[in-house]
A and B are shown apart, each in its own frame.
Chain A
Amino acid sequence: MFELATPSPNSKSRYPAVANNRGPTNIYNFERHDIRTTTTPQLLPHTHTSTSPEPLFKMSKAAGRADWADDEDLDDNVNALPPDTTTTNKDGTKTIITYRFNDEGKKVKTTRRIRFTTVKEVVNPRVAERKSWSKFGLSGKDAPGPASDTTSVGENIIFRPSANWKKDQKEEKPEAGSMKDKLKDKKVKCRICNGEHFTARCPFKDTMAPVGEEGSADVAAGPGDEPASVAGGLGAGKSSYVPPHLRNGGGGGEKMGGGKFERDDLATLRVTNVSEMAEEQELRDMFERFGRVTRVFLAKDRETGLAKGFAFISFQERTDAAKACEKMDGYGFKHLILRVEFAKKAQ
């Protein structure tokens, strides 16, 4: 598939004439194969963190040396450009630093980190020969490589065959249906007067505050009541402003900080000693046996894409998480023994 991403100019050189020196090709010989070796430079975007395939770039000519226009400058100019440097990094990538002058005559330094991947493809000699055929008909004038008007790449489709595909499909549908049913029985209820109409249409909307709130309490208890007591005992005095974290009886702040994350942490496992080669999907597959997994986070090195060795797995149910914790602790995965424990609350 990546051939699409690296179009035309390279494609010729990337299909060397492999069928050469083979003598007459036996048409029915299916065992004969050629090995082709191609090298594809791959730019590593610095901000890249996800596992999706990294975009491939073709090596422009400028990568190796300065533009021809700059060559003159190089000779004449006093501020000659420093020579390009190429260093090999520990993780197998290469850093190439090039210098050039831009249109305004300013020096520009370009640093690129490139990973070279060698793609070997075993191809039948007949297939290799057919790849060198020239185009004809409506495509006669097209450049080598896929033409953009006839060939495009569709969106990614996840196709995972499953033995109980039908059942899975049915399970999904009733869920949607039941939601609908729930909503069907739901009656419209006004927040201000509890009547059977939308709040926006309430006849009291300008005169009353919603039920259970400060204003309504006022109305219910009469104007003589002490409003300060409702506002957590802090709103006393002339000022009616209550800071957000003190509203609703002062408990709001706590809830906000803890609420969602607390629940999350309860069913979240921390997995350590994970292999570098692990993938999120593999972890998900392993842990899904114990219950519905809502989130899998595998820490990865943003440059190399290798796992850092720990992961977090959130379950829907704490009981499932506990089961998984018990079973998976000490489980051997990719030559390493996993350590699974409940994640500690973030400080």
Chain B
Amino acid sequence: MRPILLQGHERALTQIRYNRDGDIIFSTAKDQHACAWYAHNGERLGTYHGHQGALWTVDVDPTSTIIATGAADNTVRLWDIKSGKCLKVWEFNTAVKRVEFNEDGSKLLAVTEKRMGFLGTIVVFDIKLDLEAEQTDERAMTITCEDSKATVAGWSFLSKYIIAGHEDGTVSQYDAKTGEQLDNTQAHEPDALITDIQWSPDRTYFITASKDKTAKLINARDLEVMKTYVTDTPLNSASITPKKDFVILGGGQAAMDVTTTSARQGKFEARFYHKIFEEEIGRVRGHFGPLNTVAVDPQGKGYASGGEDGYVRVHQFDKGYFDFTYEVERQVRAQQQQQ
């Protein structure tokens, strides 16, 4: 496969998102604008200007009308995807590290940093998926993380739970209506922060990536760790592929150590693991720095990775990827056909 390189950012990438149809990619980086790209040919649709600090996060609503971005200038902004106009600004006390729309795009959550005496919080807003509508200033809910700040969070199936990953390697489950903490489990090492949470297509389970060099597949209902993927490098991002039972993990040496290591040792590769067998099945190299974010096309046709090197690399899977199956899988399929 021949990757498309997107050079719209001058600084390290922070997050990449595909829209639901998989035709547009949104990217944010530590420079102060977000970019939208066509996934099929890498053409840049446009850029979103207005933030005054590094952008940490982006998410797109399921109808591809609005995107939300969170930044180090303590704001969350909503943008019209088509025109690049800023629709709404919410101000916070601290930087916003993660935003995510729920399944139907009626709610948005934002994870704020713990800093300057403010505790880390998860804030929920009601969203009107209409470009003309006035968005509310009011927060529908605020969850305060007293023990350990949340680094990432997301909505479970049917917007029933809010799942958050914390700095101390724990994963907690909140009731999405009341904000009450229902469960909390030490999924990763206590000193390793959780760097990413991404959902399965039906949002019943999710994958977490952590600095403790593992990624885990966790059930949203009871926070049971179903699978563990062990690597040899700190992970920054993990993603579940639709269509095929794989997961893609991205990571690499921490940015501060990069100058002392070569590309080979830095392990700047996207790693593919089999979702069920937990075995590594291949790697895709190409970045010159650690992978900060990995995103999979919801249609399962490709994936994009963003690195500390400021590049987004968009890959379209080729035939070998779709044809690959384990011997066991082939046997099962043959049996099913016979019946």
Contact = CB atoms under 8 A, between A and B. Distances in A.
B310 to A, nearest CB: 12
Contact of A1 (B21, B313, B316): B316
Contacts of B45: 133, 135-136, 139
B306 to A, nearest CB: 14
Given A1-B316, A137-B84, A153-B5, A159 B24 contact: no
Given A131-B23, A151-B37, A157-B286, 5 more contacts: A131-B38, A150-B8, A150-B44, A154-B286, A159-B315
A163 B327 contact: yes
A152 B326 contact: no
B7 A151 contact: yes
Contacts of A127: 21, 23
Nearest to B21: A127
Contact of B44 (A126, A151, A152): A151
20 contacts: A1-B2, A1-B316, A3-B40, A127-B23, A131-B38, A135-B46, A137-B33, A137-B46, A137-B48, A138-B46, A145-B41, A146-B42, A151-B42, A157-B1, A157-B3, A159-B1, A159-B315, A161-B272, A165-B280, A165-B283
A167 to B, nearest CB: 10
A151 B43 contact: yes
Interface string A1-23: 10110000000000000000000
B44 A165 contact: no
A139 B320 contact: no
B82 A137 contact: no
Contacts of B48: 137
B23 A139 contact: no
Given A130-B24, A136-B84, A159 B282 contact: yes
Nearest to A53: B2
A138 B33 contact: yes
B320 A159 contact: yes
Given A161-B272, A165-B282, A147 B320 contact: no
A82 B315 CA distance: 48
Interface string A120-141: 0000101100110101111110
Contacts of A139: 44-47
B286 A126 contact: no
Interface residues of B, number: 50
B321 interface: yes
Contacts of B272: 161
Given A126-B21, A127-B21, A157-B286, A140 B41 contact: no
Nearest to B65: A27
Nearest to A142: B44
A162 B324 CA distance: 7
Contacts, number: 128
B44 A135 contact: yes
A300 to B, nearest CB: 20
The 3 lowest CB-CB distance pairs between A and B, nearest first, are A137-B47, A136-B46, A151-B42
B240 to A, nearest CB: 15
Nearest to B284: A159
A166 B279 CA distance: 8
B89 interface: no
A160 interface: yes
Interface in B1-48: 1-8, 21, 23-24, 33, 37-38, 40-48
Interface string B41-65: 1111111110000000000000110
A76 interface: no
Contacts of A130: 23-24, 64
Given A152-B5, A154-B313, A159-B284, A4 B41 contact: yes
Contacts of A27: 63
Nearest to B7: A150
Contacts of B281: 161-163, 165
Contacts of B320: 159-161
A285 to B, nearest CB: 11
B1 A136 contact: no
A110 to B, nearest CB: 30
A156 interface: yes
Contacts of B324: 160-162
Given A1-B2, A154-B3, A160-B324, A138 B47 contact: yes
B285 interface: yes
Nearest to A166: B280
